[in-house]
Structure 1
């Protein structure tokens, strides 16, 4: 595409132009693959009748590009070379995280010869739009790319509109870095969340044919109960047992199915219960455990089981208690020190290794061992 198109620029844009967004503004532009100098599959030439600048962000065919060259201008159009943004970086300023589209490469080009220059192993070049946010980037600031940490060791502005960062591999800090989501120092400024979801009817329960029962579900964050959590419920076989989004379970035909509850916005946090559809009139027992969800190391607390039949509390049934570590390790970092009827006393271990661990207290119905309930007890240091 040569300058001979300039007299007919409006015609070419109208007939051959494609809609793009330049800095979020819809425009018509002519796009072609870059074939001069060094051929790169992620490089294209853009020509538009509207002003273009180095550092402009172009959205084209569901991809994002950065204009990474000087821009040629004449009376009719502007022309520049753009590179596909191949990474999104999260930069953290004392807890304020901002994401940036960037061109990242482990090699660069000589401006004198046009030849490829390999970077030392572990080093990368990052090019970003020069704007009010990126001007706050500082030397030694850290970020992640594909779960690997990098540190900024050099900064320059090779073109007006573009900031170029020289970066080198850095060590991963598992105490502070959210490695999974590629955010450096996230937990240094933000509380880490440990979510859990519990169905309090245990691992197996019954539902009467053509009747409904509610699931008793609680969600916790760092051991503290979440008020009004958003939960998604599913049935493994809705033709046998259905469940609505309020946790109401209905028996459709005699049979069995699994009901799964998931935290809607954290779907890896879930709990599952097996449910059987039984004839109306069959006892449908469930258990709930009351007591503190957090226990100080070395201290004791009491827990009480409440037994229900069709959701109505009954008092002629009893449970057996058991205790284990949440991670199933041994020895158990706590003990049952007393058990009277349907109440029990649990004492947390006093060793330093007990801090931030958890116990699981289980109550099993004596008359039907398939009916169980678990309560997770988080252990924290006394001081």
Structure 2
């Protein structure tokens, strides 16, 4: 009965087959759910006119499958069993990261007993295609699955076309692992980027009706200022305040709106400010702070505030100074040691634990406490 179906199946393959990719090559294939007592919902039978091999990767309906066994073939077609790859994992070779589709399971089928057996808690079995890249996998190599690290403790290369890895749950290495993106040891070979963006106009600023002012925006990476950053600007109400992609703000109508700046290629990094449109002739004060963006442990530096009224520096106004940790923790990792007029001296604390953290120096206009400006000062070890 089975033999009599073969010509019919081959006919259906030619006439009704679906387009799939087998190892990246487009092919026609018939695919159906696997049907036996140990089937899983992610197991299917594939029939193709081209040879199939254990370990072949099949892209089917936007899902990736691994052929786990070659079942049968005749003169016209070949049939095999495949399992959906339920994980995509990254392996790191001294900074060279490669991604692999894999079948990951915490239990497996015993061919000796005919039963499904559970693996010890924290153990997983990973099945990968045997290829030039996976042959370089070594014992104790680490990888992540859904933000949990695993270490390879056993490698089985006896199955033709497939490499099986026995893995144990491992501990997270916060210094080197990119846990968010599931890449082990990434920061051991790459520089971790910590981006920040700040609109340097305090918490609120003003623009006169029908006039244009530029936004003063600073972008940093690991505390170092980025030259010519690519920034996207938006206004919460363009009918009141408009902003172009060069950060030029125009007062359209009396009222207020929030202006937001985002790093274009890292949109989660952003800063915003409340802006108000006022009548022509109104004082519009702004403040800038000049001084070193970095302080080393135990050292001091001077900072000066410059006060402007609609872009022109004025000298009849003054500021009050305050200092805090950027992360709002206590005690403050520095101090104001002197303050004369609109200048101030800041000294970094002596603790080596402050390395790569930051202070925030704030200047508040005495005549208008709503007008403030902040300067971030990165802390570094002396040696």
Give yes or no for TM over 0.5: yes
Q: Which moved more, 1:347-356 or 1:56-65?
A: 347-356
Q: Which moved more, 1:150-159 or 1:348-357?
A: 348-357
The CA distance in 2 between the partners of 1:104 and 1:4, in whole Å, is 38
Q: 1:310 to 1:10 in 2, by over 3 A?
A: farther
Partner of 1:378: 378
Contact 2:237 2:257 in 1 (8 A): yes
Residue 32 of structure 1: how far off its partner (Å): 0.6
Q: Which moved more, 1:205-214 or 1:131-140?
A: 205-214
Structure 1 runs (4+) deviating above 6 angstroms are none
Deviations 1:57-89 (A, max 9, x none): 111111111111125322111111111111111
Deviations 1:170-229 (A, max 9, x none): 122222212222111122222222221111111111122233322111111111011222
What pairs with 1:145-164 in structure 2 (closer than 5 Å)? 145-164=145-164
The CA distance in 2 between the partners of 1:324 and 1:90, in whole Å, is 40
Deviations 1:130-184 (A, max 9, x none): 1111111000111111111111011112432111101011122222212222111
The CA distance in 2 between the partners of 1:282 and 1:125, in whole Å, is 71
What SS does the aligned partner of 2:330 have? coil
The CA distance in 1 between the partners of 2:80 and 2:220, in whole Å, is 53
Q: Which moved more, 1:350-359 or 1:144-153?
A: 350-359
Partner of 1:45: 45
Residue 45 of structure 1: how far off its partner (Å): 0.9
Contact 2:10 2:77 in 1 (8 A): no
Contact 1:54 1:71 in 2 (8 A): no
The CA distance in 2 between the partners of 1:275 and 1:3, in whole Å, is 80
Partner of 1:330: 330
The CA distance in 2 between the partners of 1:118 and 1:210, in whole Å, is 72
The CA distance in 2 between the partners of 1:298 and 1:238, in whole Å, is 47
Partner of 2:212: 212
Q: How does the TM-score come out when normalised to structure 1?
A: 0.94
The CA distance in 1 between the partners of 2:282 and 2:16, in whole Å, is 74
Partner of 2:29: 29
Q: Which moved more, 1:23-32 or 1:108-117?
A: 108-117
Residue 233 of structure 1: how far off its partner (Å): 2.1
Contact 2:52 2:70 in 1 (8 A): no
The CA distance in 1 between the partners of 2:324 and 2:336, in whole Å, is 10
The CA distance in 2 between the partners of 1:21 and 1:240, in whole Å, is 54
The CA distance in 1 between the partners of 2:122 and 2:39, in whole Å, is 24
Partner of 2:57: 57
Q: How does the TM-score come out when normalised to structure 2?
A: 0.94
Residue 3 of structure 1: how far off its partner (Å): 5.2
Q: 1:365 to 1:70 in 2, by over 3 A?
A: same
The CA distance in 1 between the partners of 2:317 and 2:352, in whole Å, is 38
The CA distance in 1 between the partners of 2:62 and 2:329, in whole Å, is 49
The CA distance in 2 between the partners of 1:17 and 1:272, in whole Å, is 55
Deviations 1:335-383 (A, max 9, x none): 1122222221111111333333211001112222212111111111111
Partner of 1:179: 179
Residue 2 of structure 1: how far off its partner (Å): 5.5
Partner of 1:367: 367
What SS does the aligned partner of 2:306 have? strand
Contact 1:199 1:216 in 2 (8 A): yes
Report the count of equivalent residues: 383
Q: 1:348 to 1:3 in 2, by over 3 A?
A: farther
Q: 1:22 to 1:250 in 2, by over 3 A?
A: farther
Partner of 1:226: 226
